[in-house]
Amino acid sequence: MQFIKYPSLTNHYTARRQKFINFDDDYVATEKIHGSNVSLMVDNGNNIENAKRIAILTEDERAQKPWNTLAQFATEQKELIVSWSDSVRNLANEYVYGAIEQINFYGELYGDIYDESYCSSVQKMPYQATLSNTRQIRFFDIHVIFEDGQRLALSQDKMSSILGNDYTVPVIREGKLRDLILDATELQSKLGDCGAEGQVYKPKNDYLFKPDDYGNINYPVIKHKYDAWLETQKIDTKHGMNHLANELKLIAEIESRVTKQRLLNVLSHGDIQLAVQNTGLVIKEMLKDIKDEITREEPDIDVNDDKLFGKYGGEIAQLFKDYLSGI
């Protein structure tokens, strides 16, 4: 059975840079638990492996805190885990993606011993599990691994229906990704009398993906840590959030205007010869046309972001290429 590390998540304040993230898609916001990443892997023979974030647990680690909680859960709840796996396989078999190699359940291990002067918890958070001197696991993702390398991430709804709410991360709300990011407020944890670490935004529907030849993954799940938990100061200011809000609005306005019809309108001016060597001129004129229109129609949006506009050059070039091939 192969160890497969959970994909790195995009920070909410850098999501706008990722072409594979669509801010108008439907997403689910769940609580981000402050703990340690763990996983259970189940093969077709219902053999179960336990892993921390970077590797399968060794025999020694299975007996050590905090990992012994995961090992104990895998042993004592094997029948339950196998039933989960069977349900996942039944769902995955509805897709025509090929033979299943294994199923990975990714979760967060949290809790332990806590008091005001001393804490030996997995992470120092007074969750209810911590205050009751226990460790618990909440799962946040299920990946079906196919033999051809493709992976299917199940939706939150399907994961919750299979595992039940007691074993999954708490759901906060649903909506368009853009709205979830911009309207996020710091909330109390649903797992104890303390503030949550943040939110995680996950596509509402199942998501099929495959690593490229270099192991890179375009995984559209986003983490949004609250200010107290940020590992960078890039967005830890009111100005930063205002800047992010402006960029998200600007992205929406640009994307709605990069169209074939606008290309035809720009070309109709007759200033540019219809030749592939003039692709750069077409991009320049079309982006200028878009920027001028946004300035007129959306005066509250700051359009002074040439780097952001430049990211749409490739899409415009493709529109022009397709147009030339059709004449």
How many distinct structural domains can be found in the chain? Answer: 2
Q: Which residue would you say has higher pLDDT here, 182 or 239?
A: 182
85 and 176 co-located in one domain: yes
The answer, yes or no, to whether residue 80 has pLDDT greater than 70, is yes
66 and 18 co-located in one domain: yes
For residue 28, what are its two tokens? Answer: 């689910």
Assess if residue 17 is contained within a domain.
Answer: yes
pLDDT band at 242 (very low <50, low <70, confident <90, very high): low
82 and 19 co-located in one domain: yes
Residue that terminates a domain, selected from 229, 256, 283: 229
Assess if residue 93 is contained within a domain.
Answer: yes
Assess if residue 45 is contained within a domain.
Answer: yes
CATH for 143: 3.30.470.30
208 and 103 co-located in one domain: yes
250 and 101 co-located in one domain: no
Residue 121's pLDDT is what? 42
- What pLDDT digit, counting tens, does each position of 268-295 carry? 877 888 999 999 999 999 999 999 989 9
Residue that terminates a domain, selected from 202, 229, 256: 229
Residue 184's pLDDT is what? 80
Please name the residue that has the structure tokens 């320049």.
Answer: 284
Residue 247's pLDDT is what? 82
Domain that holds residue 291: 238-325
- The CA distances from residue 1 to 40, 58, 74, 103, 263, in Å, are 11, 14, 16, 10, 51
Assess if residue 193 is contained within a domain.
Answer: yes
Residue 97's pLDDT is what? 73
Read off φ and ψ for residue 249, nearest 5 degrees: -65, -40
pLDDT band at 57 (very low <50, low <70, confident <90, very high): very high
The answer, yes or no, to whether residue 223 has pLDDT greater than 50, is yes
Cα separation, 159 vs 110, in Å, equals: 20
- What pLDDT digit, counting tens, does each position of 299-310 carry? 888 898 888 899
52 and 159 co-located in one domain: yes
Residue 265's pLDDT is what? 83
38 and 187 co-located in one domain: yes
23 and 69 co-located in one domain: yes
34 and 167 co-located in one domain: yes
Residue 72's pLDDT is what? 93
34 and 136 co-located in one domain: yes
| 26-32 vs 36-43, strand pairing mode | unpaired
Least confidently predicted of 87-101, 228-242, 311-325:
228-242
Cα separation, 91 vs 93, in Å, equals: 5
Q: Which of 237, 255, 252 is nearest to 312 (CA)?
A: 255
Report the chain's mean pLDDT, rounded to a whole number.
85
168: left (phi over 0), alpha (psi -120 to 50) or beta: beta
pLDDT band at 124 (very low <50, low <70, confident <90, very high): low
The answer, yes or no, to whether residue 232 has pLDDT greater than 60, is no
Residue 159's pLDDT is what? 96
The answer, yes or no, to whether residue 113 has pLDDT greater than 50, is no
186 and 57 co-located in one domain: yes
Considering just the CA atoms, what is the radius of gyration of the chain in Å? Answer: 24
The structure's pTM equals: 0.72
Most confident of 112-116, 172-176, 210-214: 172-176
Assess if residue 1 is contained within a domain.
Answer: no
pLDDT band at 236 (very low <50, low <70, confident <90, very high): very low
Residue 129's pLDDT is what? 59
Residue that terminates a domain, selected from 195, 229, 263: 229
The answer, yes or no, to whether residue 257 has pLDDT greater than 70, is yes
What mean pLDDT comes out for the span 219-224?
93
Residue 192's pLDDT is what? 78
14 and 115 co-located in one domain: yes
- What pLDDT digit, counting tens, does each position of 3-45 carry? 999 998 988 877 877 888 999 999 999 999 888 899 999 999 9
